[in-house]
């Protein structure tokens, strides 16, 4: 029996090893992902996003307990705002893990930024897919800030929860503008702070003026995660949104979109990988790069030269067709 | 005389029209960028990044005045944290513009997120390049938050200034970890707030433990931008960093790296554009996508099919070679 089968049978060690395959982006990734494809949509994807300091991690922690109290299982993917350069980890998950370490119904994985954020969000999505495929009822994807990763994550989440807090200063208008478009549910956490009522009133007004869907009115929920206030209401709203998505056929439509966006990502990433690779060892490509570096040719004219070079393109194509090799074989990682 | 020539001669209207070409990503972009290539490195690039609410915009505003007091010209590209979905603008620049509207030595351009953040950061970089090519001594690139855009911007900035403020709560450790790797200068703004001394002490300790370059010790500067405190010191440090980069040959090396990264971006983006285009009108590619959407084939196996399809690849190649058409002709935009 290989580790994918073991994972399907509930083996936590096998699950952890599969997730390491994703993080390290080894050549087994395509194989693993095509093996789990039929099962990745069994669970439900919840996205949590918000600025640093909004108390989002505490909120997620309480949400885990809430889900467990309902006798359901949950996976968590947390994307840590660490250095994109050093790849240094933050260990947020290890601290949180302690609260759930003895609970076999919880699996938390934290991903630190390494290399491109594009690579990170792909690893995060695949991690979420494997967690759901492993039999979790929910997978929570937790991200920080407002940026590309969040946008990518919205593609993956069935319900997106945006966490705000009062008193974030002058740029609240700016933050809100982006939020209106991604939030299915808005949480105002730290709701004992000054400015809570005003923030909620502002949000209600903006939501009233910008209703995205006739079938869903985005709710604003006040929480104090550290005191467990508002958590049950939040979970109920997530459940309500889930039911609406199911009843309207939106969930099926989302799954279709998610599959296409996964496909397009794979196509794009494979192309980029091949080009980066040839930057190391294709002498003709390297010569063009050297000329660009020396300022002998401008980048656009150089690009024109590349795309006009049939032999170079042919070499890329040969690499491309050998890049993705999927067979239904064992994964012995 | 075409608008590129007019821009070189100081015509503000021509400059504004060139920047619109970039923002709207019209087919003239390659032509414009290859025309200005020889001049884009005349000026100096300063990056400002920091979380929303750190007072970064006020700081940049005061920096503009400081540069103008030294009788030098400055361009500003501000990336606004607006909705990546609606593309709605924030108008921050229009408010700030009023302070400098009558000053011909200042040119401010604000870019809102539209489409991908990748597209945004490319437009922002090109805007900065044109501002420098137009004869500005400095170009300030202002971004928000910690994300892909910031990382991209670091590639472009010669000196990167990271703006912090005291009292940003529990995630300061996380924020700092990323900052250490990108900051050439750290500013603690709103330095009258509680926690300033502690933050500076923490930063100094972290900097002491993580010195990146033997030739540059990252300084921490306390400012109160709204009261114009610390601005002169900041400008002097930027000048000092600039001199060090020049003396060590690092500036020349940076320019080389910047050209290569611009080239690689163009290659990648052109490829992605071609694939997105064929998603609309290539019947063979559309059929594969439909099968993915219906769940009849998993995305990785579908990607393998695509890269094994010689005819499809050939059609992509034909599009690629016709995508970048650069001639040294007039730009009548």
What CATH number corresponds to the domain at position B189? 3.40.50.300
Which of B263, B298, B307 is nearest residue A289 as measured by Cβ atoms? B263
Please list, residue by residue across A57-94, b when 16 or more beta carbons sit within 10 angstroms of its beta carbon and e when fewer do: bbbbbbbbbbbeeeeebbbbbbbbbbbbbeebbbebbe
Residue at B78 is within a domain: yes
Give the span between the Cα atoms of B260 and B89, in whole angstroms: 31
- The half-sphere exposure of A228 on its side-chain side, counting CA atoms within 13 A, is 4
User: A303–B266: do the CB atoms touch at under 8 Å?
Assistant: yes
Task: Please list, in sequence order, all residues whose beta carbon lies within 8 angstroms of the beta carbon of residue B193, skipping any fewer than 6 positions away.
Answer: B165, B166, B167
User: B259 to chain A: which residues are within 8 Å by CB?
Assistant: 292-293, 295, 299
Interchain pair B52, A180: CB under 8 A: no
Which H or E run contains B108?
strand B106-112
Tell me, yes or no, whether A215 and A271 share the same domain.
Answer: no
DSSP state of B225: G
- Do the chains contact at B182 and A85, CB–CB below 8 Å? yes
Q: Do A52 and B302 touch (CB under 8 A)?
A: no
Share of chain B above pLDDT 70, in %: 80
Q: What is the pLDDT of residue A299?
A: 87
pLDDT, residue A198, reads 86
* Distance of residue A71 Cα from the nearest chain B Cα, in angstroms: 30
Last residue of a domain, one of B248, B272, B287: B248
Q: Helix, strand, or coil here: A93?
A: helix
Report long-range pairs for A264-268 (Cβ below 8 Å, ≥24 apart).
A264/B275, A264/B279, A265/A122, A266/A30, A266/A324, A266/B299, A266/B300, A266/B303, A267/B275, A267/B303, A267/B306, A268/B271, A268/B272, A268/B275
Kindly state the helix (H) or strand (E) to which residue B143 belongs, with its residue range.
strand B138-144
Q: Are residues B118 and B266 in the same domain?
A: no
pTM: 0.73
Mean pLDDT of chain A: 82
Query: Both B62 and B134 in a single domain?
Result: yes
Is residue A135 over pLDDT 80? yes
Q: Which of A30-39, A70-79, A296-305, B80-89 has the lowest mean pLDDT?
A: B80-89
Nearest residue in chain A measured CA to CA from B151: A84
| A333 lies in some domain | no
A267, A242: one domain: no
Residue B18 covered by a domain: yes
- CA nearest to A306, candidates B19, B219, B172, B317: B317
Chain B residues touching residue A61 (CB < 8 angstroms): none
Taking phi over 0 as left and psi of -120 to 50 as alpha, with beta for the rest, B144 belongs to beta
Please give the Cα distance from A126 to A122 (Å, whole number).
Answer: 6
Judgement on whether residues B27 and B100 belong to the same structural domain of the protein: yes
Q: Report how far residue B150's alpha carbon sits from residue B153's, in angstroms, rounded to the nearest whole number.
A: 5
| B332 domain-assigned | no
Q: Is the pLDDT of residue B299 over 90?
A: no
Task: Report yes or no on A35 lying in a domain.
Answer: yes
Q: Which two tokens stand for residue A282?
A: 């294709």
Residues A35 and A114 in one domain: yes
Domains contained in chain A, number: 2
Side-chain-side CA neighbours of residue A162 (13 Å)? 22
Residue A291 tokens read as 């000329």
The CA distance from B32 to B22, in Å, is 9
Sign of CA dihedral A9, A15, A21, A23: positive
Distance from CA of A39 to the nearest CA of B (A): 11
Residue A188 has a pLDDT of 93
CA distance B293 to A130: 19
At residue A90, the pLDDT reads 44
Residue of B nearest to A154 (CA): B85
pLDDT of residue A88: 38
Mutate to test the interface with B, among A168, A177, A199, A209 (most CBs of B within 10 A): A177
- pLDDT score of B295 more than 80: yes
Last residue of a domain, one of B248, B274, B298: B248
Residue A271's pLDDT band (cuts 50, 70, 90): confident
Residue where a domain terminates, one of A193, A218, A248: A248
Alpha-carbon gap: A102 to the closest alpha carbon of chain B (Å): 26
Minimal CA–CA distance to B267: which of A289, A253, A232? A289
Q: Are residues A235 and A268 in the same domain?
A: no
* B62 lies in some domain: yes
Give the per-residue pLDDT at A103: 87
The nearest CA of chain A is from the CA of B243 a distance in Å of 22
Cα–Cα distance between B250 and B141 in angstroms, integer?
A: 20
If you average pLDDT over residues B287-315, what whole number do you get? 88
Cβ–Cβ of A90/B173 closer than 8 Å?
A: yes
First to last CA, chain A: 12
Tell me the angle at which helices B117-133 and B148-156 cross, rounded to the nearest 10 degrees: 20
Tell me which of A26, A35, A53 to substitute to probe the interface with B (most B C-beta atoms closer than 10 Å): A53
Residue linked to tokens 């539209």: B114
Q: Quote the pLDDT of residue B182.
A: 82
- Cα–Cα distance, B94 to B92 (Å, whole number): 5
Kindly state the tokens that stand for A235.
């979970």
- CB contact (8 A) between residue A177 and residue B82: yes
Q: Hey, are the CB atoms on B264 and A279 less than 8 Å from each other?
A: yes
Out of B34, B146, B170, whose CB is closest to A300? B34
User: Is the CB of B299 less than 8 angstroms away from the CB of A33?
Assistant: yes
Whether residues B241 and B315 fall in one domain: no
Q: Is the pLDDT of residue A82 over 80?
A: no
Would you place residue B276 in the very low, low, confident or very high pLDDT band (cuts 50, 70, 90)? Answer: confident
Pair of tokens at residue B201: 């002490």
Q: Determine how many CB atoms are found less than 10 A away from the CB of residue A139.
A: 29
How many CB atoms sit inside 10 A of residue A324's CB?
Answer: 23
Lowest mean pLDDT among A186-195, B281-290, B321-330: B321-330
Q: pLDDT over 90 for what percent of chain B?
A: 36
Same domain, A293 and A200: no
Using 50, 70 and 90 to split pLDDT, how confident is the model at B313?
confident
* A139 and A87 co-located in one domain: yes
* Residue A83 is assigned to a structural domain of this protein: yes
What is the average per-residue pLDDT within A121-130?
86
- The mean pLDDT value for A215-229 works out to 95
> Are A264 and B270 within 8 A, CB to CB?
no
Q: Do A242 and A262 reside in the same domain of the chain?
A: no
Is there a contact between B132 and B28 (Cβ–Cβ < 8 Å)?
Answer: no
Asked if residue A328 belongs to a domain, the reply is: no
Tell me how crowded residue B197 is: count the other CB atoms within 10 A of its CB. 12
B221 and B85 assigned to the same domain: yes
Residues A89-112 pLDDT 10s: 444 444 555 677 778 899 988 876
- For residues A147 and B116, what is the distance between their CA atoms, to the nearest angstrom? 10
In B, which residues are within 8 Å of A325 by CB distance? 304
Give the model's pLDDT for residue A80.
64
Structural domain harbouring A271: 258-323
- Of B214, B196, B213, B194, give the one whose Cα is nearest residue B204: B196
At residue B270, does pLDDT exceed 60? yes
Residue A57 pLDDT: 83
- Placement of tokens 């930057």 in the chain: A279
Phi-psi region of B165 (alpha: psi -120 to 50; beta: other; left: phi over 0): beta
Regarding predicted confidence, which is higher, A53 or A254? A254
Query: What's residue B214's pLDDT?
Result: 87
Region A122-138: what's the mean pLDDT?
Answer: 91
Average pLDDT, chain B: 82
CA distance linking residue B312 with residue B321, whole number of Å: 15
């Amino acid at each position: 029996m290989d580790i994918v089968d073991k994972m399907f049978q509930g083996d936590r060690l096998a699950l952890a090893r599969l997730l390491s395959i994703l993080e390290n982006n080894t050549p087994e990734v395509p194989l693993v992902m095509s093996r789990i494809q039929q099962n990745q949509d069994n669970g439900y994807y919840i996205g949590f996003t918000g600025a640093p300091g909004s108390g989002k991690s505490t909120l997620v922690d309480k949400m885990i307990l809430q889900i467990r109290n309902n006798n359901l299982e949950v996976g968590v993917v947390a994307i840590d705002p660490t250095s994109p350069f050093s790849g240094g980890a933050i260990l947020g998950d290890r601290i949180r893990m302690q609260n759930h370490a003895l609970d076999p119904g919880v699996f938390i994985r934290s991903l630190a930024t390494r290399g491109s954020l594009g690579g990170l969000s792909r690893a995060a999505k695949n991690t979420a897919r494997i967690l759901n495929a492993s039999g979790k009822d929910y997978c929570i994807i937790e991200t920080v800030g407002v940026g590309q990763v969040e946008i990518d994550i919205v593609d993956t989440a069935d319900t997106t929860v945006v966490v705000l807090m009062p008193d974030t200063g002058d740029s609240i208008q700016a933050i809100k503008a982006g939020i209106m478009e991604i939030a299915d549910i808005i949480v105002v956490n730290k709701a004992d702070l000054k400015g809570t009522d005003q923030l909620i009133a502002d949000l209600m007004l903006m939501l009233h003026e910008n209703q995205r869907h006739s079938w869903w009115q985005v709710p604003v929920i006040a929480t104090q995660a550290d005191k467990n206030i508002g958590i049950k209401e939040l979970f109920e709203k997530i459940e309500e949104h889930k039911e609406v998505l199911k009843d309207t056929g939106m969930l099926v439509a989302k799954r279709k979109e998610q599959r296409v966006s996964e496909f397009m990502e794979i196509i794009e990433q494979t192309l980029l990988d091949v080009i980066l690779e040839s930057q190391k060892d294709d002498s003709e490509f390297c010569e063009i790069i050297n000329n660009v570096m020396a300022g002998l040719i401008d980048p656009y004219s150089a690009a024109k030269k590349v795309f006009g070079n049939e032999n170079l393109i042919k070499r890329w194509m040969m690499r491309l067709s050998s890049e993705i090799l999927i067979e239904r074989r064992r994964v012995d990682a």
